[in-house]
Structure 1
Amino acid sequence: MADVRLFPRLAAVHARRLLANPGISTGVDPDALRSAAEPFVTWAPSGGRRSTNAELDRLRDNIRAVAAACGWPGPAGQVSRASFDAGMGAFLLESGYLPVAEALRDDVWSWIAIALVPDVCLWRFEGAAPERFLGGRRNTLQRLWSRARVFDRGPGEEDRWELLDRLTEDAMVQITERPSIGADPKLAAAIGEAWVRTAAEVGASAMEALTREAVRNLRITNEVLCFGALGDADLAAAVGEHFQRAAAATASQTGQASG
């Protein structure tokens, strides 16, 4: 039988109470927060065994190691943040440390962000905005696991994590945080691949407006044409066509503006 580790859970009401601590915005004692969270922790009643403290500490140390490779706890610049996002997403998914059933739960990520590695979360996002600690699509680490799950080309694939490395933050948001797109991993991955191909042709600096145009039209088209019903080749072609049209439109607008 597989050894399924269960993780501590921290309900939103208790997570918000812990985040009300005014010290979390200026400095944080991870051990103190972990102790403060302990009375509110719950676990799944079945489906595996509870993770030991040693296993949880190992996860904490691995997360910190990835952050340290990107400059933590020093100043977090744009390059170090982007490197952290890509590296952490790959680690969280590739390591298989969190079972999918646990990683799909917001309350698990609330506990990880608040009680296990609040220092890393504060480094990645200054200001201690609650949404970066509470479970959900904006959670510092949960968003990275979710992105890696969508953009993983698969074990054994060449450049397995190229999409995580190449896609900009704006592109990630446009793709994964639009419910009609992000809810369909196959479509989201196809858009990511089209983004990389198009960026290689026109340059990454031109991609922000182009991506917004392409994604807007893809969402409209998806109302009448079910992209999820297309085969891989047809889906890639359809998405690629939208990006090519957006590239042409953007180039035309740029030319008119410069003229």
Structure 2
Amino acid sequence: MTDNALLWPRMDRSMAEKRLESLGENSGPEVELTTDYFSFSGVGRRASGKEIEALRNRIVEIAGKYGFNVRHGYDQEGDPGDEARSRFDVEVFAALPELMQMNWSEAGSRDLWSWCAVALLPDVTHWRWKQRRQSGRWNPERFIGSDLTRHTWARQWWRAVQLEAAPELAELIKETEFNQITERADTIGANPLLVTTFAKRFLAYTVNGGVSRRGLLRDASQRLLREMYFIDDSLLSEADLIAWSDRVLKASVSVLSRDALR
């Protein structure tokens, strides 16, 4: 992912917030493909206009498969539905790291992701969340890179990092489940091997359906987080992580099964 790392444009938060003032039911910031108004950071090769245009065109192409019509801009017709949005996310997850090659330091820039959502893909970002707003309100974190686990595009790029060892999990783990596992980015989400190992073992424990899938993940992930205060997961082998995940999940199944009988 980093062999051909590039530097991408950055939009500071004040500019992003100013541009988002035009965000409405059928309106939003203009698409901006030039880099004249944006900064770059660090030493390296900057993404060219051709590479920036290719990134936008591919994401628009993927969105088009699920109902987005570029000619309609912000005035998109109909609701693609949760299943289509989920499929769109999976395709973006698979395509984004190759389209947007960079190192982890660059990908950690909040301003970079603000540029991606507010300048490069504001119409697609708008379409992705228009029908999923709570009480018709826009969540600025989907556009502005204040929280990369919630940002429309950053979350997919980093998800590819976290699931690099098992990309098939993107289709097996629900959006809300992945968020539950990785919402604490400085703990579980900081170790890709722990993420994939725990996710695989969680799926294995859901096969029998003896307890609520949602309840199991919530209880087990909370147990894991508590134990991470005194366990250094970076020193554990894959076999150790499997054993740890199994122990935590078994404990959760036992407690949840007992509670269900009361």
The TM-score bracket by the shorter chain reads 0.7 to 0.9
> Aligned ranges for residues 1-259 of structure 1 at < 5 Å?
4-21=5-22, 24-28=23-27, 32-34=30-32, 40-44=37-41, 46-48=43-45, 50-73=46-69, 74-93=78-97, 95=98, 97-100=100-103, 101-126=105-130, 127-135=137-145, 136-137=147-148, 138-153=150-165, 160-178=166-184, 179-202=186-209, 206-256=212-262
Shift of 1:88: 0.9
For the residues of structure 2 that align with 1:161 and 1:231, how far apart are their CA atoms?
Answer: 20
Number of equivalent positions: 242
Unaligned 5+ runs, structure 1 = 154-159
Which amino acid in the other structure matches residue 130 of structure 1?
P
TM-score (norm 2): 0.83
Percent of pairs identical after alignment? Answer: 29
Shift of 1:231: 0.9
Unaligned 5+ runs, structure 2 = 70-77, 131-136
Shift of 1:249: 2.0
Structure 1, 63-72 or 37-46: larger mean CA deviation: 37-46
User: Are the aligned partners of 1:186 and 1:228 in contact in 2 as well (CA < 8 Å)?
Assistant: no
Which amino acid in the other structure matches residue 52 of structure 1?
S
Which amino acid in the other structure matches residue 98 of structure 1?
Q
- Residue-by-residue CA offset, 1:184-236 (whole Å, 9 max, x unaligned): 22322222122222223328x92111111001111111112222221110111
RMSD (CA atoms):
2.3
For the residues of structure 2 that align with 1:250 and 1:69, how far apart are their CA atoms?
Answer: 41
Shift of 1:54: 2.4
For the residues of structure 2 that align with 1:245 and 1:85, how far apart are their CA atoms?
Answer: 33
For the residues of structure 2 that align with 1:43 and 1:16, how far apart are their CA atoms?
Answer: 19
SS in 2 for 1:47: coil
Which amino acid in the other structure matches residue 129 of structure 1?
N
SS in 2 for 1:140: coil
The structure that is helix-richer by fraction is: 1
Which amino acid in the other structure matches residue 125 of structure 1?
W
Structure-2 change in CA distance of 1:29 and 1:213 (3 Å)? closer
User: Are the aligned partners of 1:10 and 1:110 in contact in 2 as well (CA < 8 Å)?
Assistant: yes
User: Are the aligned partners of 1:170 and 1:208 in contact in 2 as well (CA < 8 Å)?
Assistant: no
User: Are the aligned partners of 1:147 and 1:176 in contact in 2 as well (CA < 8 Å)?
Assistant: no
User: Are the aligned partners of 1:181 and 1:188 in contact in 2 as well (CA < 8 Å)?
Assistant: yes
User: Are the aligned partners of 1:151 and 1:192 in contact in 2 as well (CA < 8 Å)?
Assistant: no
Structure-2 change in CA distance of 1:190 and 1:115 (3 Å)? same
- Residue-by-residue CA offset, 1:6-36 (whole Å, 9 max, x unaligned): 2111011211111122xx2222466x3427x
TM-score (norm 1): 0.84
